[in-house]
Amino acid sequence: MFANTATRYGSIARFFHWAIALLVLVDIALGVLGKFIPRTGDTVDVLQILYSTHKTIGVTVLLLAVLRVAWAFSQPRPTPLHPTRAVETFAAETAHWVLYASIFVLPLSGWVMHSAEVGFAPIWWPFGQNLPFVPKSEDLAHTAANVHWAAGIVLAATVAAHIGGALKHSMVDRDATLARMWRGTDAGDPKFGGAAHRAPAGVALLIWGVTLGGALTVFAPSNHDEATLQTPSTQTGGWVVQDGTISITVMQIGAPVTGTFANWQAEIEYDTDSGTGAVNALIETASVTLGSVTDQAKGPEFFDVQTFGQATFAGDITQVDGGAHTVVGTLTLVGQTLPVTLDFDLVIADGVAEMSGTTTLDRRDFGMGAAYPDETSVGFSVEVLIVLTAAQPD
């Protein structure tokens, strides 16, 4: 009943198969959906729920996978139904091994990515968020994301072939392959013994070796700081920044200190007719200067530039009235992604746009300066001032 025999899957193996199959398919759908939702101030709540669900399901898959493999080790594998069709049996066995590995590689790479980042979309469970021995590091998170992505493609392709095979058996061959896994039907001739495991397992190992090797080397950017923004395209109302300053002002022992970021880039699309557009900015946090406290600002308490080399901002521009505009978006700073609204004035004359805008952030929202819990030495508010000129290339 519970256990497998040489000719049937027991209820425990079938429970593991279908529970994990369902969770994996839902998680692929959520992961892909997440890629299509733009990251703006309006979508940040939905994304948070989507990714928390995705991560919680993924961790559940991992726990079930451990139990499933422990159980499978204690069980006979039912004999192949068509042992004489050597190629088909080999392909099916290989797919099973690839799938077995995927239910570890996907959740583990996802979890490493989650542990290496700071705090967005928690796993909904009480057992802690972070894996031991995984440091907070943007580069590591990026590498794990590459592995997760490549593994997702291998998984999706294998699942498609696996489902295709199951459907072929039930619709073309009209045999008991699907019924054996679905209802626990007894089928097959035990005198053939189990399928050959070694060679298909070897091929599956090779597939994973190439996938992981590729994700870790060829496709992995060596350094996150090399990320750049694309040049805006003129067809879509792209503006090229000519000059500008991003400055921040914070109260230090009751007196304002102002500093700037030397390195940043922005990709701006703006349609003068509709007064709408979008902005994408990348700020190198290590380029900050803040008077005599520059080193402290770069240190782990504040911008933590060793771990988080970049801050990013992406948002949508809307015209409020005349030159008054607002951009609503999300700012990712020290690994925290939060909605931010920036009001700015825009004056366009002779194809040159002059923009000047401000917003106020609270350093506590980003977990900055936890060792300064009151405002005696460092204020909570950080005034951000952005002034730039941009032109539309002809």
Provide the binding-site residues for ligand HEM, judged by CB under 6 A: 13, 17, 20-21, 24-25, 27-28, 31-32, 34-35, 51, 54-55, 58-59, 61, 72, 78, 92, 96, 99-100, 102-103, 106-107, 110-111, 113-114, 123, 145, 148-149, 152, 155, 159, 162-163, 166, 177-178, 180-181
Tokens matching residue 342: 């920036």
Output the smallest distance, CB 204 to ligand HEM, in A.
Answer: 10
Compare residues 205 and 391 and give the one whose CB is closer to ligand HEM. 205
Compare residues 120 and 372 and give the one whose CB is closer to ligand HEM. 120
Output the smallest distance, CB 118 to ligand HEM, in A.
Answer: 12
Output the smallest distance, CB 51 to ligand HEM, in A.
Answer: 6
Compare residues 177 and 359 and give the one whose CB is closer to ligand HEM. 177
Output the smallest distance, CB 43 to ligand HEM, in A.
Answer: 13
Distance, CA of 229 to CA of 339 (rounded, Å): 21
φ, ψ (nearest 5 deg) of residue 239: -120, 140
**Residues whose CB is less than 8 angstroms from the CB of residue 109 and which lie 6 or more positions away in sequence, other chains included:** 144, 145, 147, 148, 151
Compare residues 43 and 252 and give the one whose CB is closer to ligand HEM. 43
Output the smallest distance, CB 120 to ligand HEM, in A.
Answer: 8
Compare residues 163 and 227 and give the one whose CB is closer to ligand HEM. 163
Angstrom distances, CA of residue 280 to CA of 130, 268, 345, 347, 353: 30, 7, 18, 20, 17
Distance, CA of 388 to CA of 347 (rounded, Å): 11
Residue whose C-alpha is closest to residue 62's, from 102, 93, 2, 14? 102
H-type alpha helices, the chain:
11-36, 44-73, 86-116, 138-168, 177-182, 198-216, 294-298
